[in-house]
Every structure is written in C-alpha cells, then in structure tokens.
Amino acid sequence: MIIMMNAPTIDQINRVLDKLRQLGLDGHSITSLDKTIITASGDLSACRPELYERMPGVDKVVIVETPYKLASREFQNSNTIVTVDKASFGGSTIPVIAGPCAIESYDQLYQAGISAKAAGASMLRGGAYKPRTSPYSFQGLEKAGLEIIKTVGSEVGLPVVSEVTDPRKVELIAEHVDMLQIGTRNMQNFVLLKEVALTKKPVLLKRGLAATIEEWLMAAEYIMSGGNNQVVLCERGIRTYETYTRNTLDLTAVPVIKHLSHLPVIVDPSHGTGSWRWVSPMAKASVAAGADGLLIEVHPCPEEALSDGPQSLTLNNFSQLMAELNTLATALGRSL
Amino acid sequence: MIIMMNAPTIDQINRVLDKLRQLGLDGHSITSLDKTIITASGDLSACRPELYERMPGVDKVVIVETPYKLASREFQNSNTIVTVDKASFGGSTIPVIAGPCAIESYDQLYQAGISAKAAGASMLRGGAYKPRTSPYSFQGLEKAGLEIIKTVGSEVGLPVVSEVTDPRKVELIAEHVDMLQIGTRNMQNFVLLKEVALTKKPVLLKRGLAATIEEWLMAAEYIMSGGNNQVVLCERGIRTYETYTRNTLDLTAVPVIKHLSHLPVIVDPSHGTGSWRWVSPMAKASVAAGADGLLIEVHPCPEEALSDGPQSLTLNNFSQLMAELNTLATALGRSL
Amino acid sequence: MIIMMNAPTIDQINRVLDKLRQLGLDGHSITSLDKTIITASGDLSACRPELYERMPGVDKVVIVETPYKLASREFQNSNTIVTVDKASFGGSTIPVIAGPCAIESYDQLYQAGISAKAAGASMLRGGAYKPRTSPYSFQGLEKAGLEIIKTVGSEVGLPVVSEVTDPRKVELIAEHVDMLQIGTRNMQNFVLLKEVALTKKPVLLKRGLAATIEEWLMAAEYIMSGGNNQVVLCERGIRTYETYTRNTLDLTAVPVIKHLSHLPVIVDPSHGTGSWRWVSPMAKASVAAGADGLLIEVHPCPEEALSDGPQSLTLNNFSQLMAELNTLATALGRSL
Amino acid sequence: MIIMMNAPTIDQINRVLDKLRQLGLDGHSITSLDKTIITASGDLSACRPELYERMPGVDKVVIVETPYKLASREFQNSNTIVTVDKASFGGSTIPVIAGPCAIESYDQLYQAGISAKAAGASMLRGGAYKPRTSPYSFQGLEKAGLEIIKTVGSEVGLPVVSEVTDPRKVELIAEHVDMLQIGTRNMQNFVLLKEVALTKKPVLLKRGLAATIEEWLMAAEYIMSGGNNQVVLCERGIRTYETYTRNTLDLTAVPVIKHLSHLPVIVDPSHGTGSWRWVSPMAKASVAAGADGLLIEVHPCPEEALSDGPQSLTLNNFSQLMAELNTLATALGRSL
C-alpha cells in the first residue's frame, strides 16, 4: 500500500505512520519537494485504504499488493492439476466438457452423452437447477435431473458436472456429480462459495458477467480459503457495449490467469459468444491461447432445446470440431 | 415476437406457423419481395426465439414484448406506494434512508441513527451480513448486528432495513427488520429472490453491478410473481470503463423506470459514486430527476469505518445535505 | 511516478536511478524487506512509464501525477469564465444553448431560434457539417447552413455555435459563428484540436463516446496548450452495456470536473439520453448536480427532422422546461 | 424496417403508410388483436426510424436491414483479396505486418525491418504522424519519418504502411507508403475516410476504441462508397470495464466479420492487449480464429521506445513467434 500526501505537516505524516503501526504494518516515509510518500508493508488483510484516505494531508492511497494469496503464483509456483476421474485440468491435456445447457430428459442426455464420449469428450455437463432471467422460463428438472445425470454419466462412462445455485442443495448435488459448477450469476454469491468449499469436490468457477480478473481470482480465494483447492476457472464472456454477440469472449484472460495464478483455466465459447456459429473458431482460438480445457454446449436437437438452443452445437458439428481440435492440439504439442 | 425469413419456401413458412400454433400462439405471415415476416402473439412465456432461430429459412427472431408483466405500467397504471412504518415510497414524499454500510457496534449505530433522525431521515440502514469481495475483509457482526439494529431502530424511532445474502437467514433477518435489502451482487440470486417473496416484507432491490434495466425489472418480477408486491428499486451505479468514479451512476434510469413500471425507484449516490465528495450533488440531482427516495451512507466517524468509509458522509455533512434537499424538494412541489 | 521493484539488486536500483537522472527527473529509493520503491519527480512530460517497465527488477510503474496541467485546478484555482456575447459559462448563471441537431432551412432554424430566444435560451445551435455514421445519411447543408445560422443568430439576437469536423474548414466556420463545437467523434482528433486552438474562438468540447474524464481533460489540454483557454466542456453521455437509452448520461462527471478543473462544464441531455422523453428530468438533474449550462435539442417539428428527431423537444416542451428550470435554478441560488 | 403500433386507429395506420409511400418505400400492415405491424421495404437509405417514432399510435420502430451494403456478403459473396505488393490479405495466406509503433530513426526502423523480413514478415509498419493522448508526448518525426519508411521499405524489400491523421496530409503520405492506416481514434473521422477513398491505395482500417462491429463496417462503407474497395479491417481491442489489460481483444469479431462481410480482417494483438507478454498467445489465437493477417509491434529495443514500448516484442521474441505461427498455420491448412 502506498499513501501519497500533498504538502503534509510533520504531524500529519506521523499520524499516518502511527495508525499503520497500530495495525501491525510497517511504514516508511519519503519526502521529495512538497510530496511525501509512505509505503506500508506487512499483513495484506490489514491494508485498508479507506482508513487513510480521509486523514488530513492524504491525497491518494494506492494498493499495489494483489489481494488474493492462495490463488496466486507467488504463493504456489507450480500448476495446480485438478483431476476429475480421468479428466485432468492444468497439465498437457485439454479435456473437453460437453453436454446440453439443461437436462431435459434421460433420452436427451443419454444421446448427448454417448455421442460426446464417442467424439472424445472427457466430461458430461447438464443443468438440473437453472438460474433463469425470467421466472416464467423453464427452471430445470431439479432432483430428477440430478438422478438422470448420475445415471447417464455412469452408463456412458464420463464424469459429470452440474451447477449449484442454492447453499441448501450443495450437499444433495455433490452426492450426484463429480464436479460442482458455480455459474456466472453466482460468482460473487459468497454464501454459496463458502458452502462448496466445504464439500472438497472439484469446483468449476465461471467468471461473473462483469467481473474483473481480480474479482474472479478473489472468488477462487473464497473457495480455497475455505479449504478446497480444487478450483478450475472458466472464462465465459463478459458484458460489453457490443451487442452483435451475446457476450464478448475475453480470451486474453487465459494467458493472464496462467501468469497470475497456478489454477487451471478453461473456456466456454458457447456462452462466451452466444451462437453456435462462432463456437468452432473460438474453441480453436482458446486452445491456441493456451486454455486448459473447453466447455461446449452440445444438444441432440438444438432447435428443440428448452434452454440456450441457439448456442448449442449439433452432435455432428461437435464431432467435426473435436477432429479439428485434435489436429490443432497436436501441432501445439498437447492433446485433448 | 417477430420472425424474419429470407426468401423462404411456402413449406418453410408453414412449418413456422405450425410450430407457433402447437405452442398456442397466434401467427400471421406477410410477404414482400423475398422477405417474409411472421408476427406471433399470445402467451408471453411461450415466446421463445430459440425454438425458431435455427428453423430453415429463418433469418432473425426479435422479441418486441416486454418480458416482465406484473412490474409493468401496462399491467398496473397507478404508482405502487410501498409503506414502511411512516416512510412512504412512490408518492409525493422523498424518504431518505441513512446509516452506515456495516453495523460495527451499538454506539456507532446509535450515534448514526439519532443524528440521522434529527436531520430528517425516514429510515435507518446498516448491514449485519456483508458480502465482501475478499474473504479476509470484515464480514459483518451477523446475528449480533441484527439485534443492534432492531434495538437502535426502536430507540431512535426509525424503521430499519438490512441486507439478506443467504436464503437460510431470510426468516431470521425478517424478524429483526422492517425492510429486506437485496444487494447488487444478489440481484440475480434467484433462489434468494424467491425466498424474500415468501416473507411479504417490503424489499429494497438494488440494481446489479452490470444489470440492464430490463434484467432489473425481471428481478422485481421474480419477487412479485412469488407473491410480494412491496418492491422498491434502488439505482446504485453501474460498471463502465470509467474508473475515476467507483461506479457510473445511471440517473436516467429513474425516469425510465417511472415510465416502464409502477414501482418506486430510489437512488444510492454513496455506492453510486464511491466517494463522499460526489454524494451531495448527486443526491440533489437524483431528486431533480424524480427519484422516490434516497439511500445515503452516514457514519459517525468515516475514517474509522470497517467498510466503505470513503463514501460515507459525516453526520454534519448529512445534516447540511438534508437542509439543501428540503429546499430543493419544496421547489419541485415535493417534500422529504 | 512510482517505480516498484521486487527483490532488486543494488545494481538494478542504480540503473533505474541513473535513467531518471539522465531525463532530468529527481529519484529517491526506499527499500523495505524485499520491495524497493523509487519515487520520481520533476518535469511531468518526462514521466514515461514505458521506459522503466521492462528494466530488470522492475515490477510495476504507476503514474500518480495528473497528465493535464493547464486544465487543472492546481494550475489555476479560480473558475474560468467563458463568455460568448451575453452568455457566460462558469459563473452563477446557467446559459441554455438550444436549437436543432442539423440546420435544414432558414425557416426551420428561424422558428427554432425565435422560440428558443423567447423561452429564455442564451445561444442558438445548429449543425452545418454533420458527422453521420452512414455515408448515405444527410451530411448537412455545409456552407449554405453556415450562412443561415449566421443570419438567424443575428436576426433573433442570439450568439451561435456550430460543429467543425475538418481542419480545412475551421477558418470558414469561425467566420460564421461565435463558438466552435468539437463533436464527440472528434474529441481525440488532435489535428482538429490544434486547429481550433489557433482561432482563439470559444470552443465547446464534447466528451468522446467512450472517453475517460482524464482523456477529456487531455483533449482540453491540447486546445489550451495551443493557446486557446476558452474551453467549455460538455458531458453528452457515454457508451455502456445498457441499451435502453442511447447513451448513459454520466452526471457525476459534472462535480468531478468542477473538482479537477477550473473549466466550465455543461450537459447535453438530448444526446446523453437519446429520447425527448428523458430530456426534461435530466436537464433538471444536471442543474441540481451543478452544471454550468445546458445544450438542448429543439426542433419546430421533430418528427420531420433530418437528424436526431427522436431526441428533440418541441418548442412547447422546451418553453415549459425553461419555466421549470428557472424555478429550480432560483431555489439553488442561481439563474438561467 | 418494422413499425409497431399499439391499438392504432385506421387513420393512424394510413398516415404511416402514406408517409412510407411518399418516400418511395413499400409498406404493408398486419393487425392482430390490438397490435398492428407495418413492414417497409425499398431503398435502404430512406429507412429513417426517426420519421415514424413520434407519429401517433407508433410504439416502436425497428431497423432489421443491415445499414452497410458494399461491405456486406449479400452484396458480394466471394472474399475480397487486398494485395499490397507480395502481401495478399483475404486468401489462404496470413501476412504479418511488423514494425515499431513510431518511426524514431533510420537505424531503428532499418534494424526492425531487416529482422522482421528475415523472420518472415510480409510488410513493415511505422508511424510518422502519431495521434497521442497528451500534447506533451512525442508526436512523430512527420515528413522525415515518411522518407525513412520509404527508404527502409525499399532497402529491406517490404511494402510499408503508415497512419494518416490529417486530410491535408493524405496525398503526401500516399506518395511514401503502399498502404494507408486509419487509426482507432479516427475510425469515425468521416472527413479523413472520404479523403483516403480518393487515393485508391489499400487502406488498413482499425476498429474504433468503442466501435460496434456495425459502426466499423459502416466506416468501411464510407471508404468503399467513395470509390476505394481495397479495405482491410483490423481488430485491435475494445474498451471495457476490465483494466488488467489495456484493451479487451474481441477475437470473436474475426469470424463475425468473415460472416457479415467479404472484406479481409486482421488482428493487432499488440494494441489489443497492451503488453508484449500476451502478444504471442493472442497472435496464435487470432490465427486459429481465422484471421487474414496479423499486425505486430516489434522494436529493436522496446525499453527505449518513444511510444508503446511495453507492448512491443523484441526481435528475438518476434522471430520465435513467427516459427510457432508457421507450425500453427500449417496445421490449419494455411501459410504465413
């Protein structure tokens, strides 16, 4: 933390230094012409700019420390590998999670799962509890959906992931799936983050709709500080002024996260773009950017989907994409 | 819903009309040169563009209906008045809700409350459960905080409002306060919205950090469709590229909401700007724009605040602002 | 400028200090544990973070100085008053500039002008050279438009303002109008800024569509450093993700600009919101926020306007708004 | 254009149809319950929603036509190939334009050029006229810079591109370079667009800082409607709320542009991300997304660069990137 003071009196400088000392922080001041700068170091969580911003003589307070700790590369230099059955995120492989947005029926999920597996997917996804913008939209099959995904996952031989939205349902869902998804609207639902931390299940943490990279890592920090280190981050597009695409896929976040954090980061080009038409090029771009995996919506019959049909690939499209991704991964020295 | 088709065959047009009919919608087609437009009317919730977007011949589907119903002026033309004890939102008065961001102690809240009351505030606010970006930040006094706010409210004679963040705590909080606040990070926590709907307590619904006006009204719709019509909307700034202010206060949302909805809308210039320096001018601007109330952070000692100190007014600043707001409200034919 | 170094060697620190010295800057280093911070002061324009960011041992470079100088309150504490004939921006009066977006004919502008004057407007506006998104849209009457606005201004007794878009036309336009407008799309057209600086005419500098407050003040700095101090800033809405309104009017920019700069700042609620429906409430909010003036689109017949009709007030609406603004200004101790 | 009317009278419908007819448009109305929809077709440029939006009975006007014509795939289905000497944009090759942000000296540009050529670059870039946010920053070598780039291009055997910022300098610059660049701040400088249209030189049109894809294509339309079809679009990052990276690179724009337009689209990951650290992964991602070329900042000594040093690759980094891009392009069935 750096505290900038404009033409302060000696007394004003000392009051700032005293306050730092009271909170166990180490402060040093340096004066040059009429500017004084105080640097503070020590326990990160005691760096609270608001305590100093209104003290007399203080002009500006800048936090230069990263607010996340467990999630940072400084804390752990080597990549965290998150393993979900045979899928492994964070190493040289690039697992692909495929499946429909919402679980609609056993048949629908089974078809999706068996084809996804055949095409080379490593995990099956499907929502049983759906956070929908409208109270009048389909809200998911709930408990029945959980039973379907558990059954189908076991039948087709793929580990499964499904979204949690309610802290009261975390335990139930954890009994049915191999990985818990925190959706974009719940990235800062801290109550829910603390709850999934307790399960010790791997967590797929989607980036919030308008979350900064720092806030996203802080959400991971909530889960990790709660005792669960098995966090996979998922870029899924951010909200910008551009309306042609549903969201703006922020692919630069991939190398940025790999630089700042040891956690794996995957990409969801389906939500990230909002249309099946852009899924294949952006899936390939994600892999070239260094993503640790992909999450792709696949539906046996997208035009009948009860949720997010326009962004789902058909089983054929998906199968073709997987072939192209294989070639690409090989050229980059990796594999799906 | 309007379905645009580009050079369709007769058969393609008929398939769209058939699908509309199956879902109970009324469809009409009109063809001009090589373009065909199909208009669909009927039950709003059956208008699902994704069912048509990938049908052969379809170019584009545009929803022209508003997705919210109970919250709309079309559904109810006269203003909803939400009454919390003597405070009344939506009529000619402009109640001011004042208090600290977080409840820190009985003394702190009592001082804030007694001064706010003296200056003319209509309600007292204070957070007991705080959603904080960092797991290492102060998370609120929790149950002890609830007891403090209940006591202080009763002692100073002001109804009180506090935030809910956990569906499991809604009942407990509702027993201690007169109004429940849904914070900006939980505007699309649908599980929580459904839970506050069940309490029948008035709800203060803050706009999400990057929520559109339509999504905000849809969040109100969740509460209303759950049986609770006592919703007060609160504009609190949105996230934009501008970083000089913490958020960009979208004051135009006030007349827009008054036009689209019968619900009252108030403004929080403290969070909306992020600095006490801009609170007074923006509070006045809010009233001039037609706001139905204000929510202002006031702290007996902002530089010691455990949360959001930089944006809190001192008790003196608040008192002076209230005097200015009184003059302004009178000139506009209203009163605080 | 602050240069942060992570566990640097003595040699690395010295290389940074040497480079600062070469560029005439005064550098001091302070080391605490494994962090070293170097503060640099001196000639602002020599503070170039890019020279240090890649030097060995350097972690981060933060500019803490404001990049604008002539436009800052630190440079000049007292308000600049920009006078255009009888209109005076920056003092206790709140001049209103009214008129159509584009000059379409003598009759149209005369009607707008005579009514605006009668309602109490202080200046007349109208575009002769229109920057339009589409090459197929009406591009303005050009030279003929300039002659119309000069004539009408003189006949109705109002000073006039019109937009410049081409450095080759600045002189011509300056001969016909009392104030030059730099439009939102040209805020960073530095060639044009330098050219209007040479005219010594008052300049109305609109904020760019996605310009930060700092960039906006830097654009003013271009004009001022070119020798022209008569700059009036105009907030006109910024681009955000919200699409219900054409732009998001950033009214907090008004008190922020008044704090950072001595230059006057006015508001254009017509472009700022994009619809006549929100112009009146936002004009009032602008005045309450402390604006030094208003720019309002008025058209004798908005539904026939060749440009921006939907956001223009009718002459009647404008007249009624002026009456309301008068009451409001009086209550705030100011006058139109 | 679709005009929606809410419970209109027959007379109101007829007035809309009459107005359409007057402007040469073909209108059809369809009524269903209390809603009437009028569809209009005919000359695109006569579709002006503002003429109808305020007519009695009209609720909403929606433009469904794309506003650009010459730039659209509908107008020309086959890809436009823009050829600059041996570089060819829009076909199976992926030309790389490399060089420093600003031309600083003959030696600097020669070193950059000779190395870029050796590494496989197809064109050399360098700015002689620099649009800088601050009037106190280096503004370019101007005419001397043009002579340097002309000489160096010829000596190293690469065609060259440089930015135009002033309509009065377009002819001069066109005499010295093979391709004219319109920078991000001038994308909607329509005066400049019209001027480069007259030169018939290939134009590199950068996307505006906060431009929509539609506005970007409209800027291309300005150049094309002025008689110059040789336009190469360049994605270079957009402004969003995320501040960790300087801009948010919108890579999805690549497949979107390829779908909407026949024009080539390349990517500038240097400006698009703002740091050399993200240039390599995002260059690879651009190629995987289907880009028709790359523009990469390369500087012999980035830490001494007078402009944008932090985002420039060293000559070694560039050379290594080119090798990686070659492998990638081959795997995708293309070549640099």
**Secondary structure of D263-310 as H, E, C letters:** CCEEECHHHHHCCHHHHHHHHHHHHHHCCCCEEEEECCCHHHCCCCHH
Q: Using an 8 Å CB-CB cutoff, list residues of chain B that contact chain C.
A: 210, 212-214, 238, 240-245, 248-252, 254-256, 259, 272-273, 277-278, 281-282, 284-290, 327-328, 330-332
Tokens representing D137 are: 């920053």
Which SS3 state, helix, strand or coil, does residue A241 take? coil
ipTM: 0.93
Task: Search chain D and give the residue with CA nearest C303.
Answer: D51
Tens digit of each residue's pLDDT (9 = 90 or more) over B10-33: 999 999 999 898 888 888 888 766
C63 contacts C135 by C-beta, under 8 angstroms: no
CA distance A207 to B48: 26
Higher pLDDT, residue C307 or A311: A311
Instruction: With both helix axes pointing from N to C terminus, report the angle between B315-331 and B276-289 in degrees, rounded to the nearest 10.
Output: 20
Tokens representing A170 are: 């975390």
C22: exposed, middle or buried (Cβ count in 10 Å: 0-12, 13-18, 19+): exposed
pLDDT of residue D44: 63
Closest CB from C238, C278, C327 relative to B256:
C278
Mutate to test the interface with D, among B30, B43, B238, B242 (most CBs of D within 10 A): B30
Task: Search chain D and give the residue with CA nearest C53.
Answer: D310
Beta strands in chain B (DSSP E): 2-6, 26-32, 35-41, 58-62, 82-84, 87-89, 96-99, 123-125, 160-164, 179-182, 203-206, 231-235, 265-267, 294-297
CA distance D256 to C85: 51
Tens digit of each residue's pLDDT (9 = 90 or more) over B84-113: 999 999 999 999 999 999 999 999 999 999
CA distance C83 to B243: 32
The answer to whether the CB atoms of D218 and C134 lie below 8 A apart is yes
End-to-end Cα spacing for chain D: 43
- DSSP of D197-226, one letter per residue? HHH---EEEEPPTT--HHHHHHHHHHHHHT
Task: Search chain C and give the residue with CA nearest D58.
Answer: C303
- C136-158: average pLDDT: 95
Which SS3 state, helix, strand or coil, does residue A103 take? coil
- B62-82: average pLDDT: 91
Tens digit of each residue's pLDDT (9 = 90 or more) over B273-303: 999 999 999 999 999 999 999 999 999 988 7
Nearest to A131 by CA among A88, A61, A201, A184: A184
Helix (H) and strand (E) counts in chain B: 10, 14
Q: Is it the case that residue C45 has pLDDT exceeding 70?
A: no
Closest CB from A248, A254, A286 relative to D248:
A248
CA distance D194 to D202: 14
Residues 6+ apart with CB under 8 A from C229: C70, C80
Q: Is it the case that residue B329 has pLDDT exceeding 90?
A: yes
CA distance C218 to C225: 10
Question: What residues of A are in contact with residue B54 (Cβ under 8 Å)?
Answer: 302-303, 309-310
The answer to whether the CB atoms of D62 and B60 lie below 8 A apart is no
The one-letter code for the residue type at D207 is: R
Question: What residues of C are in contact with residue B282 (Cβ under 8 Å)?
Answer: 251-252, 255, 289
- DSSP of B276-311, one letter per residue? HHHHHHHHHHHHHHT-S-EEEEB-SSGGG-SS-GGG
Task: Search chain C and give the residue with CA nearest A37.
Answer: C39
Closest CB from A4, A32, A241 relative to C64:
A4
D212-236: burial string, b at 16+ Cβ within 10 Å, e else: bbbbbbbbbbbbbbbebbbbbbbbb
Across chain D, what does the average pLDDT equal? 93
Place of tokens 């605040």: B305
Tens digit of each residue's pLDDT (9 = 90 or more) over C288-334: 999 999 999 999 988 777 777 788 999 999 999 999 999 999 999 99
Counting Cα atoms < 13 Å in the Cβ hemisphere of D231 gives: 32
Q: Is it the case that residue B44 has pLDDT exceeding 70?
A: no
Tens digit of each residue's pLDDT (9 = 90 or more) over C98-132: 999 999 999 999 999 999 999 999 999 999 999 98
Delineate the domains of chain D, giving CATH numbers in brackets. 2-62 (3.30.70.1140), 82-331 (3.20.20.70)
Q: Using an 8 Å CB-CB cutoff, list residues of chain C that contact chain A.
A: 2, 4, 26, 28, 30, 32-33, 35, 37, 39, 41, 60, 62, 64, 210, 239-241, 243
Tens digit of each residue's pLDDT (9 = 90 or more) over C215-260: 999 999 999 999 999 999 999 999 999 999 999 999 999 999 999 9
pLDDT band at B228 (very low <50, low <70, confident <90, very high): very high
Q: Using an 8 Å CB-CB cutoff, list residues of chain A that contact chain D.
A: 210, 212-214, 238, 240-245, 248-252, 254-256, 259, 272-273, 277-278, 281-282, 284-290, 327-328, 330-332
Nearest to B57 by CA among B1, B2, B13: B13
The answer to whether the CB atoms of C285 and B281 lie below 8 A apart is no
pLDDT of residue C44: 62
Q: Tell me the shortest Cα–Cα distance from C152 to chain B, in angstroms.
A: 33
Question: What residues of D are in contact with residue C22 (Cβ under 8 Å)?
Answer: none
pLDDT of residue B100: 95
The answer to whether the CB atoms of D135 and C190 lie below 8 A apart is yes
- D157-171: average pLDDT: 98
Tens digit of each residue's pLDDT (9 = 90 or more) over C200-219: 899 999 999 999 999 999 99
Q: Which residues pair with C132 in a beta bridge?
A: none
Closest CB from B168, B276, B305 relative to A168:
B168
Which SS3 state, helix, strand or coil, does residue B28 take? strand
CA distance D232 to D259: 15
Question: What residues of A are in contact with residue B23 (Cβ under 8 Å)?
Answer: none
CB atoms within 10 A of CB B294: 28
pLDDT of residue A144: 97
Tens digit of each residue's pLDDT (9 = 90 or more) over C161-191: 999 999 999 999 999 999 999 999 999 999 9
Q: Tell me the shortest Cα–Cα distance from C233 to chain B, in angstroms.
A: 17
Using the 8-state DSSP alphabet, how is residue B314 labeled? P
Q: Using an 8 Å CB-CB cutoff, list residues of chain D that contact chain B.
A: 2, 4, 26, 28, 30, 32-33, 35, 37, 39, 41, 60, 62, 64, 210, 239-241, 243
Helix (H) and strand (E) counts in chain A: 10, 14
Tens digit of each residue's pLDDT (9 = 90 or more) over D214-232: 999 999 999 999 999 999 9
